[in-house]
Amino acid sequence: MSKKITILETTLRDGSYVNRFQFSMLETAYLAEKLDDAGLKFIEIGHGQGLGAYRKGGEYAAAATDEEYLKVAVPSVKNAKIGMFCIPGFAKLSDLDLAHDCGMKFVRVGTNVTEIEPSKDFIKKAKKYGMFVCANYMKSYALSPKKLAEKTKISKSYGVDMVYIVDSAGGMLPCELENYIKAIQDNCDVELGYHAHNNLGLAVSNSLIAVKNGVKFVDTSLQGLGRSAGNASTEQMAMVLSRSGYEHGIDLFKILDLGFDTVQPMLVQMGLNPIDLVSGYALFHSSYMPLIREFSNHYCVDPRELIIELCKIDQINAPRELVEKIAKRLKPVKKKIFFSKYHLERYYVNEQK
C-alpha cells in the first residue's frame, strides 16, 4: 500500500463559511502562495458553495467573483493545483469554461448522495478540459454502504478520477466509515477521498482511519476552519500522518505558523456548541438551521430536540412543512431558556437548490 497521501486544503473554500464568504482577493492570493510554499499540492478556493454561487447575492454574496479569485490565486502558486467546488444548479456548465480559461486544474462536483445524476455533464465537461475531477457525495451517511457503493459505479462511468465520501454532519463513526470504504472497494475500482466535519470531534481520527483503509485524499483546513463545527485541522492532520509514517510533503513549521498567524485570529467560537454536537449526533446538515431557528422560536421548543426528531425522518432534506409539523407536536419549553446562547444566527446558509 502506498504511503503517499494527498491533503486537499480547503481553508479558502470551506473556511469561507466562517467569514461569510468574505476572503478578499488579496487574502486569497496570500494564503494560496503560502499554502503552496508549505507544500500543499491541491488548494481549493472561492465561494463556500462553489462555482457560480457568488451570483446568489445578498447574504450569500462573496467578496469577489469566481473569475477574480482564480485570476489572483492561479499565478500565486508554483507547484500546487488550484481548484473549486461545484454544485450543479448553483453552477452552470459555462462556469467550467471560465474556470478552464483562468487556469483551474481540478474541480469537485458535489451532489446529495441520493441524486448524483446532475453531476454527469459537469464531470464530462471538466474531463474534456483535462481537469482532475472528483465526485463529492454530500451526506454520504444517508445511504447504506451497499447503496453508496452502487452509486460509485455510476460516477465512474461518467469519468471521475475520484469519489469522495463526505461526512457533511460530522457524525460518522469510525466503524461506519470503514464499512463505507470497504463496500466501495469491494464493488468498484475507483480512487477514494474523504471529507470530514468535526461535530463529534472525530475529523482527524476518521481521516486517519480512511487513510489506513486505502483512501488517497483527505480534506483539511487551517485551524479546522469550516462550516458548522469545522473540518479536520491541516496542522493536526499533517502531524498525525507524519507520526503514522505517511508522506505528505508538507513543511510542518510553515503550516503551523500560517494557521496560527493568519487563521486563528478569525476564530470566533469558544468551546463546544451543543447545536454542533447535536447536529453530528443526529446527522443533521447545518444548512437547514434557519428553519430550526424559525420554528423553535415560534413554537418555543428546544432546537436540539427539533433537530433530532427531524433527522429520525429525513437526513437529506428538511421540508419546511415537515419541520413545522414536528415543532408543533413537540412539548414547549416551560423553563426560562435563552435561545440566543446557541448562536443559531450564525447558521444561515442553505446549500440546497
pLDDT surpassing 60 at residue 256: yes
Amino acid in position 322: L
Confidence band of 353 (pLDDT split at 50, 70, 90):
very low
Whole-number pLDDT of residue 348: 59
Residue 81: enclosing H or E segment and its boundaries?
Answer: strand 81-86
Average pLDDT over residues 283-293: 93
Q: What is the pLDDT at residue 102? A: 98
Q: Among candidates 93, 67, 88, 71, which has minimal Cα distance to 138?
A: 88
Task: Locate CATH 3.20.20.70 in the chain.
Answer: 6-266
pLDDT at 208 over 90: yes
Q: Tell me, which fold does domain 274-346 have in CATH?
A: Helicase, Ruva Protein; domain 3 (1.10.8)
Q: What are phi and psi of 247, to 5 degrees?
A: -95, 130
Instruction: Give the tens place of pLDDT for each residue, 121-161.
Output: 999 999 999 999 999 999 999 999 999 999 999 999 999 99
Contact 332, 68 (CB under 8 A): no
CATH topology assigned to domain 6-266: TIM Barrel (3.20.20)
| Structure confidence by residue, pLDDT tens digits, 324-351 | 999 999 999 876 566 677 777 777 555 5
Residue 112, beta-bridge partner list: 138
Q: How does the average pLDDT of the chain come out, rounded?
A: 94
